[in-house]
Copies of this chain bind each other. A is one copy, B any other.
Amino acid sequence: MLSKRVKYAIKTLLFLYENGDEKPISAKIISENEKIPYKFLENILRELRQNKILKSVRGAEGGYKFLKDPNEITVAEIIRIVDGPIALIPCVSFYFYEKCEDCTDEVSCKIRKLFVQLRNEMLPILNKSITDLEKL
């Protein structure tokens, strides 16, 4: 299952997209509209900024806007930043690969084969962008 962080992150990005980004939108506004605990949201926003998804404007009238083009921000990318791997087992992950301790032959592993297939089916769906989401 996805963490609440990821869900909050996606909701935040959709909110920013829907509410234009001429002027930055503050964490307070996002928190109130999307019912995300304020301080928790701050952490998520920081993570998104550090990963160059958003940029921030400090001080009064400050807030957040897109740094990266929302057409280019995919759900998969957000999940990877906030939660980690998309794949259901580490030995089939591209970005977070880990060998199974007990595994003797990765190539012949039946379980692995299944989860490679699964990941390959999942990725095209999750590679949709924030703007694609809006059109669903």
Residues of A in contact with B (beta carbons under 8 Å apart) = 1-2, 7, 10-11, 14, 34-35, 75, 84-85, 87-90, 102, 110-111, 113-114, 117-118, 121-122, 125-126, 128, 133-134, 136
Contact = CB atoms under 8 A, between A and B. Distances in A.
A117 B88 CA distance: 17
Contact of A85 (B1, B102, B113, B128): B1
B2 A89 contact: yes
Binding site of A, secondary structure by majority: helix, strand, loop or mixed? helix
A32 B84 CA distance: 32
Nearest to A104: B35
Given A34-B102, A88-B1, A110 B125 contact: no
28 contacts: A1-B84, A1-B85, A1-B88, A1-B89, A1-B90, A2-B89, A7-B111, A10-B111, A11-B111, A14-B110, A14-B111, A35-B102, A111-B133, A113-B133, A113-B136, A114-B125, A114-B126, A114-B128, A114-B133, A114-B136, A117-B125, A118-B122, A118-B125, A118-B126, A121-B121, A121-B122, A121-B125, A122-B122
